[in-house]
Amino acid sequence: MFMVIEGEVIHGQQLGRKMGFPTANMEVEGVNVENGVYMSNVEIDGRSYRAMSNVGVRPSVDGKRRLLETFIFDYDGDLYGRRLRVELLHKVRDEKKFSSIEELKSQLERDCAHILSL
C-alpha cells in the first residue's frame, strides 16, 4: 500500500493535541483511500519524518467531515496553512468508534508503539 495525499493543513478541533497527539489535518473528500490508521511519512522543509495518520470521519468524537489527521513523530511546529505531502505507507488498522476518549488515547499509544517498532 502506498498513496500520496497533498493538501493544506487546516484547523481542527484540537482534540488530538489535548490527548498528547497533535495532528496536522487535511481535507480528503473525494480521495480514494480506505478509512483507517496508517504508518506514514511526511516531508517538512526538506526533512523526512515518520508519522501516524488517520483517514476518516473520527466516529469517537462525533466527527462529520472526512479528514486526514497526521501525528508527526519528533516534530514540534506550526503547520497551519502550509502544504504537506503525506505518504501513506502501510495500513495498521481500520477506523473504529471507541467508547471513551481514554480508550481512544490508549489505542493511539499502542498504534504509535506498533508503528515505531516497524
Mean pLDDT by 10 residues, the chain (118 residues): 90 82 91 95 94 94 88 95 96 95 95 96
According to the model, what pLDDT value does residue 1 have?
A: 63
Euclidean distance between CA atoms 12 and 25, whole angstroms: 6
Phi and psi at residue 62, to the nearest 5°: 55, 40
The residues, any chain, with a CB within 8 Å of residue 55's CB and separated by 6 or more, are 28, 31, 33, 34, 35, 36, 38, 66, 67, 68, 88, 95
Contact 104, 37 (CB under 8 A): no
Which CATH architecture group holds 3-117? Beta Barrel (2.40)
